[in-house]
Amino acid sequence: MARFFFKSRSFLPKILHDDSDDDLEIIARALEEEGLTSHRGGTKRRRHIVRNRLQGHERLVLDYFAESPIYPPRLFRRRFHMRRPLFLRIVSEIEDYEPYFVQERNAAGILGFSSLQKITAALRMLAYRVTGDYVDEYLRLSESTAMDSLKLFAQAVVSLYSDVYLRSPTNHDIARLLAEGRSRGFPRMLGSIDCMHWKWKNCPTSWRGMYSGHKREATIILEAVASYDLWIWHAFFGLPGSNNDINVLDKSFIFTKLAQGRGPRVNYSINGHDYTMGYYLANGIYPQWSTFVKTISAPLGAKKKHFAAAQESARKDVERAFEVLQARFAIVRQPARFFKIPELKQIMKACIILHNMIIEDEKDEQDTLDFDYEQLNANPLEPVSHNDTDMLSKFISNRQRIRDRGNHCQLQSGLVEHLWQLHGQS
């Protein structure tokens, strides 16, 4: 009957006057069966796939979200790369923020895709680096819907969670980081810094030379600072792969607040010398600044060899963070297929934010050290100043202190002696 009504187009206005959902669904199914679409005043026959959206939603709920799901929490964590409570929290908050993920009926009265379907598709594309067409069979989403879900999901994650999960360390965070650094023989260490290259498969031909560096392929660089627990505190992404770590550092904002006088003042003493700035562990390519502690490339003597081994071991925190990030989200491990840099930036930031959210959610399962915060009270941190430096001379002075090579060499020598003393005591 529905087929007869559709072929006899004069009957359509009579049916459309009726507000019955049943009639609307009959028309929609007739459209799907006939595969006809309006085209320049006429009709054009095309092949249309009839997807049972409700079946895809019900299957997903029975598999993972029912009171007694088919797959236990262990397999949920393995396949979604996060625990179910965290996933449901993200779904709820994104659904409240972005109307695209709210399940609604279309003009024909047919219920659309649920937020679980769309966000699951987006997350699996991030986690497994699959195409939108790959999730169609299980979730019943078309490729275009899956791609739209991925882009809007990344935008929503960045908008909702950047202030919390891409923040600069607070005073409490700094105290915890300093306590961990002291326990590893590096007092007042704030983490380790390094860069990672993300291959750009669909880089425009006219840009390929600019984005190709020593890897001989187009890449985009991520500069990051990570701590012992693999939390990424700083992320600067988007420069062409033809840059090296020094070029990226010159354009990065990591020391901007410190030069403006708004960074945390960390007072400490090593080998009889006083310092007021924290430092990061870095590899040999980084400059000799007072905010970096590098290894010794060709150490001579037991002291320097011990320091080099300790520094290279602790500096691997950021490398481990990169490896875990790529293991959780294969989309940043495999070549990027998007054509626009803003979309790549949103995806990279979203993956880093989700990475930090997973670390926070699962921190109770990780081995934690018993930090002695009482010793920090004897030398408390000064509060972070949020006032810009009034005088240009003060800004220049802070910048020179950051880039002071003399302080760099003095700090490195002091740490060599400090670590050797700890080694002798142990």
Which residue, 400, 422, 163, is CA-closest to 290? 400
pLDDT at residue 156, as a whole number: 97
pLDDT at residue 384, as a whole number: 45
Q: Where are the domains of the chain?
A: 2-45, 53-164, 171-425
pLDDT at residue 121, as a whole number: 95
Task: Check if the beta carbon of residue 113 is closer than 8 Å to that of residue 144.
Answer: no
pLDDT at residue 263, as a whole number: 66
Q: Could you give the CA distance from residue 281 to residue 295 in angstroms, rounded to a whole number?
A: 8
User: Tens digit of pLDDT for each residue in 215-240?
Assistant: 789 999 999 999 999 999 999 999 99
Task: Check if the beta carbon of residue 116 is closer than 8 Å to that of residue 63.
Answer: no
SS3 content of the chain, % helix, strand, coil (to 5): 55, 15, 35
The pair phi, psi for residue 79, each rounded to 5°, is -90, -30
User: Tens digit of pLDDT for each residue in 309-342?
Assistant: 999 999 999 999 999 999 999 999 999 988 899 9
How many CB atoms are located within 10 Å of the residue 228 CB?
Answer: 19
pLDDT at residue 374, as a whole number: 34
pLDDT at residue 400, as a whole number: 81
Task: Check if the beta carbon of residue 274 is closer than 8 Å to that of residue 257.
Answer: no
User: Tens digit of pLDDT for each residue in 118-168?
Assistant: 999 999 999 998 888 888 888 988 889 999 999 999 999 999 999 999 998
- Segments of the chain scoring below 70 in pLDDT: 1-48, 261-265, 365-391, 425-426
pLDDT at residue 264, as a whole number: 66
pLDDT at residue 258, as a whole number: 78
The pTM (predicted TM-score) of the whole model is: 0.81
pLDDT at residue 150, as a whole number: 95
Can you name the residues that pair with 223 across neighbouring β-strands? 195, 236
Kindly report the CA angle at 332 between 78 and 292, in degrees rounded to 5? 110
pLDDT at residue 91, as a whole number: 96
